[in-house]
Structure 1
């Protein structure tokens, strides 16, 4: 009841404020028209007017009413720079603290009770760094101060800390605004608009946020680098740790702009994608697909046959493909580009110094003004009892180990129903393995729309994959040469015997062994970065899988541009990493490719959309290729052709998606795609036909009715 009473009292004050038109006084016009009258009152009763002004300012701020900026200008006009600054400084801090206390009294307990677990890390951060965080918010008046008051009330920061930090943080901004108000008070004619002092005041209003941000950056840097001694000179402009996609692109960019750059890689150049992921898996997928096409050659008017092959040759081809791509990422190529490539294990000694344990023996230290961490990720191995006893493979180890086999594993268990697990499960089934795929979620490829998952699941089952969804892996057992996986569903356990087990349940960032914890680089599953890919230390950046939020090679390369450019030129201009249009593809058969929102995403986020769909069984080229399974699905803004997201399932989906990625990146709608000539007969026509479906659904019926009447009249 006390809280309800307080809410009623606040609402009554706010209503009275607007009912008596007091808000009209808190506009620039109201300020100008009332200056003479206020000046007369102040001359007659200076202390009374000062006290009344302070009280009104406190009320306006405490109730989060509009007009605080105008009142700050008014303080300068009425009381001058010094006395006006004193009044506003105390009034704004007191009012802000009252708003803070009201928010805490009314909402904090409820918010913390309901979201306490999610806010635990945030609360700990506030306890540790709350004062400084609040100070930076106060110093840069871009975020509305009244929102800061209310939101900070929901945290655990002490009220006294909130008050004095607000008093200190808002002081500089108060001086700038009060000074502008003093110039308004001196404005006597239109010619005064061009007076140097007034123009200077408004210039200060414009540049203050920029100057304040620079001050904040300097203060933060001093705090972060406290305890470290910065070198007077540097060996390199940039050091890049990790030779995967993120590291290679970062080093390439640095060398292109003639910076002195060192790239450190302990193992194989090219990273996971070249050696263990994208390239070898796609080579295997191709061989498996050809084998499946041979089994179904009747679809093409040929005689079907069971393929006979040497598994060793299949795996040899995989390694041959990798070796042909390797020169693109080789030490020789990057050395010729101007990159100093060092093979060894890198460790951060301080924010500018890296120590390298050289592969050839010995150690080496070097310094750099900036560092990019691109250490990648590795397969996650679940803590499954008995797993080490039975032995297991991952997407990193299977390529070398399976190359030793004369035949694919007779009975293969794949743990995981994500993209990697699904691609490999289908491929080995097509190559003759008896594959069982275990997924604890209700369906495989859970991030895709349900109809997509179901279509892929049906295709994989047709290829012979035994898919067990909603099954939890409980433990592994070994009895003699017999290996077993125990799974559980709805409380009932079952046994799967296998010859090989592949763990494909996700990947985790490589964070250990690089000295991150020694110097205080913050991590939480990934290296924590800001929008510019800066870590806690403004000169240390992260890119690729180790940075998240996406573990795609193309995203790593995308991030590398921002990391390298910000690292080399951030003193002048920094760029926020842009994740608005991120495509991805899963190379199962049929392929699944997506960009932007799926229907599942739109529903979960409450985003309104319209959906158009084009089936491949209507596409001439798909019919000619006997590959009519799949569709193009486009989500748009209701009533508009603006693309929110696209999902394509079918042959060449990853390639077809590129047109939509381009359209979304540059704000092109479906009308533009519809108006573009597409070669006939190609798969790309499906994109145009999907746009045509949208156009047909949004045909102007009223105009068409009039046109029908017009043509009828023309016929006589």
Structure 2
């Protein structure tokens, strides 16, 4: 109602302005005709006329009415250069700020809600450099100031900064117009005020802040590099440290564009994903699910099987899968692609020099124009008393430690309720271990919505995992051959005996041993980078788990493109990393996959949303496969089919998510998903059915009522 009142008030003023032909007075001819009368009034009541003029100028600029230029000339004619400049400077800034606030109050929330994702880059730029952008625009009077007021009101720039920068930025233009007003009698047209030379001067003046920014950037670079001696020439265009997902893709792209690139890996090619993470974990998950299905054959109309198997063979298959995938990431393959690969330990000696220490002890120094740090992450080991005494495995060491076991650990404790902990807890329960999962928080998979966490917990517990949430691990103890972990819940301690313990409480970036401290490169939990993945040194980049903010193989590969292109071509054009549509999945049974916002994220960010949900238990293919559990949940803009986020829980959820990832990336709504033919019977139909649920909820009821009457009439 307040907005309606304000709009009505503005409309009435504009209507009055037009109806009384006030715009005829605010022309050059009208000013010259009325100047004598103004002079008389000013001579009689100078203070009153000055205040009235000041208030009128504010009103004209606040309402974006035509005539501000004429009033500026009038200020020079009536009050002289100093007085006119003083009045116009403050009146124009106050009026412009009122227009800015009006635009912000009436439209900003609406525009940001509707186009927030597309405006994110602009908003971030305004937050970072808004004062500079505004100052540049204010220095060029050719650019319509009313448009600046309107558009800047839609951005996050603060009112205080807007006022101060506007006051300073408009001063040059104000002086030019007020000075022209002092010579009003000689002025024949408004075009005579801004000659081509003056326009060029204003243009150059407007460019000056941008040039100043580049000069500041250049000076900062000089200061950063001041204590280092830059080589006259370089051996290589790019050196990449780490041959995980980010490092491999970075070096591949560099070689593809014919740059001379060197890739350095201290341990195994392929990094965590191939050797310890994605590949081995998915291999054991598959074996464990088959074991589980065979033991529960009754679910498929078969007899349950009393199954015996060699856990050593299961682990042998895991390593065979690794060996099969290994050539994709091998030294031989990348050498053939044009990448120079060194096995050794890398240390950055200066911004252009990398030292490589080979296993033989020999040292080689490489000079390079750019460096990409892609050293990945490793499991975090909590400072738990007694942990080293009882022994433990991580998601990195498990595959070697368990490789020779004939049977899986009888009593297996999993410390951590995140994706890795949940996947391995369920897999080992499927393989026959008595698994206890300990999570300090109130629920497992805490980054997901509560309904997802609850369904995941039900699934794990149904498969035999004892899930202990709200339990804090205090210490580990050894009593002879017995190994125990002591946990606390609601003030009561509990001792849990185990044969093997998995630490899965998170992963931390590998930051030490690469010379980052000596160079002063800032690190927190990761290497600190800007939007272009640059570190403190613009020629040193970081990508993948070591850079964050995500620890996924696919985001590491995504970042690698930006790191490679910016490192090789950043002197021509740099690209900001786009995290607008990032999918991920947890491969428990049923799988959990997500892209964009979920409900708890939307609530935390204060984003309005609608929820549409389709239960997979009603899907024909899921029923036929015996996998009729889970759901597809889509968050949309209220009243619109624009997708804000999707969570899928069910068989092959990670695969089903791809359709929504594509839709979000290219701005396709649920109506487009609904209008796409999906093969029957497939799990992918769930995506179409959830779109249909949204359509049904937003059906035009009045139109349907009219159609019902029409069809009734047609029946006679």
TM-score range, shorter chain: 0.7 to 0.9
Task: Report the Cα offset of residue 440 of structure 1.
Answer: 0.4
Aligned twin of 2:75: 38
Determine whether 1:21 maps to 2:56.
Answer: yes
What is the rounded CA distance, in whole Å, between the counterparts of 2:156 and 2:391 in structure 1? 59
Q: Please report the TM-score for the alignment, with normalisation by the length of structure 2.
A: 0.80
CA distance change for structure 1 residues 400 and 182 in 2, over 3 Å: closer, same or farther?
farther
Q: Which residue of 2 aligns with 1:520?
A: 520
Q: Which moved more, 1:250-259 or 1:351-360?
A: 351-360
Measured after TM superposition, the shift of residue 361 of structure 1 is 2.8
Distance, in Å, in 1 between the alignment partners of 2:195 and 2:95 is: 36
Return the alpha-carbon distance in structure 2 between the equivalents of residues 300 and 328 of structure 1.
Answer: 37
CA distance in 2, matches of 1:372, 1:640: 42
How do 1:484-503 residues align onto structure 2 when only pairs under 5 Å count? 484-503=484-503
- Distance verdict in 2 for CA 1:311–1:141, change over 3 Å: farther
- 1:404 Cα offset (Å): 1.7
Tell me the CA shift for residue 572 of structure 1.
1.4
Paired residue secondary structure (2:484)? strand
CA contact (8 A) 1:483 1:499 kept: yes
- 1:105-504 alignment runs, 5 A limit: 150=160, 188-189=188-189, 192=192, 195-201=195-201, 203-204=203-204, 207-504=207-504
How big is the shift at 1:374?
0.5
Residue 641 of structure 2 is aligned to residue 641 of structure 1: yes
Alignment of 1:490-639 (within 5 A): 490-639=490-639
SS in 2 for 1:677: coil
Q: Closer, same or farther in 2 for the Cα pair 1:192/1:417, shift >3 Å? A: same
Runs (5+) with no aligned partner, structure 2: 1-50, 101-127, 139-151
Is the CA contact 2:416–2:438 (under 8 Å) kept in the aligned structure 1?
yes
- State the partner residue of 2:704: 704
Cα deviation digits, residues 55-84 of structure 1 (max 9, x gap): 87579879994699xxxxxxxxxxxxxxxx
SS at match of 1:21: helix
- Contact kept, 8 Å, 2:73 with 2:177, in 1: the verdict is no
Quote the offset at 1:405 in angstroms: 1.2
Q: Distance in 2 between matches of 1:674 and 1:547?
A: 38
1:461 & 1:140 partners in 2: Cα distance? 62
- Counterpart CA distance in 1 for 2:546 and 2:415 is 23
The equivalent of 1:118 in structure 2 is: none
- Gaps of at least 5 residues in structure 1 are 1-15, 69-131, 154-165
Equivalents in 1 of 2:209, 2:625: separation in Å?
61
Deviations 1:91-146 (A, max 9, x none): xxxxxxxxxxxxxxxxxxxxxxxxxxxxxxxxxxxxxxxxx999989987799999
CA deviations over 1:394-421 (Å, ceiling 9, x no partner): 0010000100212111111110000000
TM-fit CA distance, 1:22? 3.9
Asked if the contact 1:17–1:23 (Cα under 8 Å) also holds between the matched residues in 2, the reply is no
**Equivalent position of 2:105 in the other structure:** none
Q: How many residue pairs were aligned?
A: 619
Query: 2-side partners of 1:36 and 1:63: how far apart?
Result: 17
* Residue aligning to 1:74: none
Contact 1:385 1:476 in 2 (8 A): yes
Two-structure CA RMSD over aligned residues (Å): 3.2
Deviation at 1:39, TM superposition (A): 3.1
* Distance in 2 (alpha carbons) for counterparts of 1:466 and 1:586: 19
2-structure distance, mates of 1:487, 1:399: 27
User: Could you say which residue in structure 2 is the equivalent of 1:97?
Assistant: none
SS at 2:545 equivalent: coil
Deviation at 1:247, TM superposition (A): 0.6
For the residues of structure 2 that align with 1:32 and 1:210, how far apart are their CA atoms?
27
